[in-house]
Amino acid sequence: MALVKKLSNRFGTTTEYWRIDTITLNNISQNGTATLLGYVNQKQRKAGKEPIDNRSFSWQKMDYAFPLVGVDIKDMDGKIIDHIDGLNEKNPFELAYQAIKNKKTTEIKDGREIIIPSEFSDAVDLK
């Protein structure tokens, strides 16, 4: 999985292939981070070239992207003997890519709150 979106860094280099390098999740405090590494293109990444850019994203309780589901542990007779909370059935990487695209930030401008969409909101999903 990856995101395709042409972005230029502060040095003027254009990156178009973005792949998650790291996801950190803390389901107890419901905080998480993800780091995207940017490559010139998919061909360069597959050739083992180094990334030339990166972006980091974080989530707190209000916008935590990795909801929990409960799993009941049953004995042979079907009686519930324990309950475990864990990530839902979706792949955490899929959830992180979607959360990166949907991430919004706010900025105060002229005394008004402005909602700014993620720079990846219109990125193409590559599977």
User: pLDDT value at position 93?
Assistant: 84
| Residue range(s) defining the domain that contains residue 58 | 2-126
User: pLDDT value at position 67?
Assistant: 62
Query: Does the reported pTM lie above 0.85?
Result: no
Domain count, the chain: 1
Q: How far apart are CA 116 and CA 114, in angstroms?
A: 6
User: pLDDT value at position 32?
Assistant: 84
Residue 107, CA distances (Å) to 63, 112, 118 in order: 16, 8, 13
Question: Please, which residues bridge with residue 126 across strands?
Answer: 2
Per the structure block, which two tokens stand in for 44? 């360069």
Tens of pLDDT along the chain (127 residues)?
999 999 998 889 999 999 999 988 877 777 888 999 999 999 999 999 999 999 999 888 756 666 655 555 666 677 766 555 555 566 778 888 988 998 888 899 999 999 999 999 999 999 8
User: pLDDT value at position 74?
Assistant: 64
User: pLDDT value at position 66?
Assistant: 65
User: pLDDT value at position 26?
Assistant: 77
Closest by CA position to 53, among listed 44, 62, 61: 44
Per the structure block, which two tokens stand in for 103? 């991430």
Q: How far apart are CA 125 and CA 1, in angstroms?
A: 7
